[in-house]
Each structure stands twice: as structure tokens, then as C-alpha cells.
Structure 1
Amino acid sequence: MSKTILITGSTDGIGKLAAIKLAKEGHSIYLHGRNSEKLAKVISEVKDASNNSNIDGFVADFSDLKAVKNISKDVLNKLSSIDILINNAGIFKSPIDTTNDGLDIRFAVNYFAPYILTNALLSLLEAGHDKKIINLSSAAQATVRIGALNGEASVNVSEAYAQSKLALTMWSFYLAEQFKDMSIIAVNPGSLLNTRMANEAYGQHWSPASKGSDILYDLAISDEYKDITGAYFDNDKGNPKGTFSKAHPDAYNETLISELIANTKAILNTK
């Protein structure tokens, strides 16, 4: 059965590779990118590579929370349901550290953007058949500090990235508790994959990008992961692919999760 799948950050890296692999299965794929020209080019590439014409996309710069709200409206206007949402868009290094909203760009793109988008699209996911959300976490996870979250404290790139990824994981577990009829999984797709983000950040890679795109594909449509929710998949563990594992201890602390969600809502109310 053909599924409707939205993949953010899918004009490059593992998002693009996963889109092509899923498109080859005949699914309707909606890509996302921040540049309209590049998005149009990749939509054409995915169509050609998959021989699937059911490929479209949406444009938004996820460092701009207003743009995230606008893309949410665009998706709601265009689609009647979504089976699978893959929140893949992410950032590590950037020419700027602070967004126009006064937030660290890592928190904006890696946490606040998927938080806003997903909450806006819950009605479409509820109307879907699969009701699945896959959030791209990381092996790098660090305790979320309110000053880093709200942009008032200056933290280094690695720390901001790790905190933003733990925030995403904690929220994933929170969402799984709120929506029992959905499958919500946080995944570390693999450390230092051969992607532009990893190569720009570290100047090296350990594994091919396909290691990450393959697990996104599997988590999205394989019956092996059907109905699993509120879990963290670590693709660094196991061979040739990973396994479900424990995330950072904070991800299981109900008090810290409640504080994160409350602070998140308070921050977004001012943006």
C-alpha cells in the first residue's frame, strides 16, 4: 500500500538517499529544503532515480520559526493525511550561531522546528494509516540547560548540538506518551556518516551515508518496527545495523521532561 511520507532536510545527505529509496517503492514522497531552486532540482532527481512521479516538496528555512509555521500551513493546505513524518533536518556548524528569534541555531533547527511542525501536523498524522514519527537524534546528547534552550546563555557548538538532540529525544518520549496510537521513535542514524554535515564539522567520516538512510527506510516501513513507540534506536550499536538502546538518562526523567516541555511552550509563546 502506497504511503504518504514527509521527510524534512531531504535535499541532501541521508534524507535525500532515504527519499530515493522510499520513492522506488512507489510511495508518495514530500521533500523539504530551504532553497527553492535546490528543492526543485532534487525533486526532479528523485523522480528520475525512482521512476516515480508522486514526488513534491515544501520550502522553509528551519532557522526561522515563522517560516516553520508557514510551511506547516502549506502542508495542511496541500495534504489530507500523512502516514510517516521523518524529522531529519539538522544542523551542526553554521556561519551564524544565533537566529533572528534570538535562539541558538542548533536548538532552532534541531529541536524547535520539528516541535512546531509536528504539533501543527498531528491532525494529518492522526488521519494517516501508519501514524509514525521518526525523529533524528544523535549519539551526542547532553543535559538541556534553560539558558541554552532560550538563547540567553552562550554555549559552544558541540554542547548546543548535544543539548538540542537530547531535547528532541526527550520530546519524542513525551509525545509517545501523549499519543498512544502513534509510533514515535528517536534514532541516532550513525555517527560520522559520509554527509556534508559530518565532513564540514569533523573533516572525516566513519561510515557511508547509506548506513543512515537504510535505517530510516527500515524504521519507516519495515514490519520489524511496527507499533514500537517511545524508543531510541542506536545505529552505532550492532552490525550491520543497530538496535534499540538506552538514550541519555534525562530522557527517562519525567520531571526533566515536564520542565523541558513547559519551558519550550513558554519560549515559543514569545516568538
Structure 2
Amino acid sequence: MDGIKSLMHSPSLPLLASFTAAVLLISYFVFRSTANMPSLATVRAANAAFHPRYTPVALFVGGTSGIGQGIAEAFARHTKGNAHIIIIGRNRAAADAIIAKFPKPTPEAKVSHEFIQCDVSLMKNVQAVTKELLTRLPKINFLVMSPGFFSLKSRDETEEGIDRKLAVNYYARWKFTSDLLPALRKAKENGEDARVLTVLAAGKGTEVDVDDLGLKKTYSLAKAGTQVAAYNDLMMKAFAAKNPDITFVHSYPGAVRTGLMSSSDSAFLRAASPIVMGLFYPVLVSLQESGEYMLYGLLNGGKGFSRVGSRGEDIGMKRFFGSDEALKKLWEHTVKATEVSS
């Protein structure tokens, strides 16, 4: 109650009103646009038909909550637990609770489900995890990345000089993919699946500002959101060009019932969370449903680069931003930005 009272007197109230109106409008168009998309039943049936003739190794970066949790749970369910599943994130207690509900693998599968703790906002942490994984994993079949957090802060640099939101939503994802490519290539050499999914905002970007990559000079919350969406598009396109036999997918999950607002570092967003969730609950997709849709998009993507929407449907290259020049400059910038001093 105190949170709601403070919210009513908050100078950010107009922002909430604008946000609410925007979500209502978006929800209307989302509802209209789902008519020709695959149904949940169709998606579940397709995912249930996934019966690999090998034992998969799957990594879920950001799988301790939200959409990443939903995808990890769907994957565990459809593989009947017979996969080496690794959840990477910050919250061990949450990961342990999620893993405890996974189907137990059969003894013949000789696999385990595990958690690796990592604050992915720091590239040195990402490198420590990828280096350790490469020493003990003979291959990786699936790399799913969905870490994120919701904040109203302006540019908030980590000790490595990268804005925290950009670090989590782009740079860490790039580094996980780049570092783990040898294990993904090994899976492909074995004749198995090698697939990468970044869950963010496919089709929601803008032209890349090549004069301010990393947004050190022109940062704003709005620009950070649209630029990082374009960065993820270009990231997947670039990795696919260099690794044409591997599948690279960028997805837009749409409106999902997550705890992103309630776990924000902003008191305003935490107070607004129950109001917003209550208003839009009927049009929000559950974590379980979103997990099915995103898994469907991952499993059905062909070789190379593709983008999928909120129901796992192929959205093609509509609203794709990024020239060859932008791709080249972003790649070179990212290599330098994610370097870790020894």
C-alpha cells in the first residue's frame, strides 16, 4: 500500500501513464497480429516431436527467471530430462528450484542438470565461465541467451566501461557466442544440432549509430533499447556469415508475464509492477507458453541467420537495420570492448 501511495505522488506518474497507453496500443496490435500465427497446440506438438538421436548439451544464459526459465523448462520437458542442461545466472536458489522440477534423466543418458553462477554484466566473468566450459564440454548443441533487467537509470557503466544494460543485452551475448563457437562447431562436425538463440527484440531496432557505438556520447533509455535490438540483429547475421552451417536466431518474445519490473532497481517500477501486470494480465503470455514458442523458433530455424516473432514464427528481414559498413564497424568495436585483460 505504501508503494502505491508513493507511486501516486511520484513525478514519474506521467511516465507510467504514457507507458500504460503504449502497452495497451501494442497489446491491441499484438492480439490482431496473432491470427495467422501457429497455435500453441501446434507449437507444442512440434516441440514434442523433437527426438534427437544424440544426447543434447544445452546452455541457458539468464535461465533463472523469465523467458529463459520458460525455454529451459520446455526444453527439459520435451527431452524428458535426457539432456545435459546448464543454467547460467546469478540466483543459485532460483536455479536449484527450477532444476529440481526438471524430469529426471534416465541412468542410460549419463547426464546431469547444473547451475553456474555468473554476473554477465562483466566480460571477465563471462570469459571465466566460457573458459571453464570449454575444458570439460566436448560439444554444445544449444546456446540460449536471455539475460536482462529493467531500469530507469541513465548510462550506468560497469568497471569495464560498458553500460550495464548494453553489457547484459548485447556484449555478454556476443562474448558467450564467440567464446563457445569451438564447442558449437564440434557438435555440427558430429552431425548434430548446433543452434544459438538470443531473445530480445528482433524487428524493433533502428539504424545503427556508427559514430557512437556503445552509446558513450548520445545515451538515452530509448536509444539504448533500439540500438541494442539492432546490435543483436547484426551480431547474429555476422556469426552466421562466419559459420554458415550453424543456426543463429534472434527473437522478439512480445508481451510476457515476467518479473522484470518487480525485480527492477527502480522503486518506481517495483511499485508500478502490480498495477501494470493487473491491467494487462489477460493479454500477456505466460512464461510456459512463451518458452514453448521460443523453443519452437529455435528448433525450426534453418542454417544461417533468421528472426522469429512472439509465436516462434519466421518474421524475415522486416525492419532489419544495418549496412555492411555498420556490421563491420560494430564487429570491430565489440571485439575490442569485450577483450579481457589477463
Q: TM-score, normalised by structure 1?
A: 0.85
Residue number in structure 1 paired with 2:41: none
The aligned amino acid for 1:263 is: H
| 3-state SS of 1:150 partner | coil
Amino acid in the other structure paired with 2:176: L
Matched, 1:113 2:172: yes
Corresponding position of 2:314: 243
Q: Is the aligned partner of 1:186 residue 2:242?
A: no
Question: Which residue identity does 1:28 align to in structure 2?
Answer: H
Contact between 1:23 and 1:46, CA under 8 Å: does it hold in 2?
no
When residues 270 and 77 of structure 1 are mapped into structure 2, their CA distance, relative to the original with a 3 A threshold, is closer
Q: What's 2:231 paired with?
A: 167
Give 1:140-179 correspondences, 5 Å limit: 140-146=204-210, 149-179=213-243
**SS in structure 2 at match of 1:149:** coil
CA 20–91 in structure 1, closer or farther in 2 if over 3 Å, else same: same
1:52-131 equivalences under 5 Å are 52=105, 54-93=112-151, 97-128=156-187, 129-131=192-194
Structure 2, unaligned runs of 5 or more: 1-51, 106-110
**SS of the residue 1:243 aligns to:** coil
Unaligned 5+ residue runs, structure 1?
Answer: none
Verify: 1:264 aligned to 2:334, yes or no: yes
Higher relative contact order (CA 8 A, sep 6+): 2
Contact 2:170 2:228 in 1 (8 A): yes
1:212 matches 2:212: no
1:15 aligns with 2:68: yes
Question: Considering only CA atoms, is the larger Rg found in Structure 1 or Structure 2?
Answer: 2
1:147 to partner: Cα distance: 6.2
RMSD: 2.5
- The one-letter code of the counterpart of 2:169 is N
1:84 and 1:130 in contact (8 A); partners too: yes
TM-score, normalised via structure 2 length: 0.68
| 2:324 corresponds to | 254
Count of aligned positions: 259
The superposition leaves residues 73-110 of structure 1 with CA deviations (integer Å, 9 ceiling, x where unpaired) of: 12112311100111121233276822111211121111
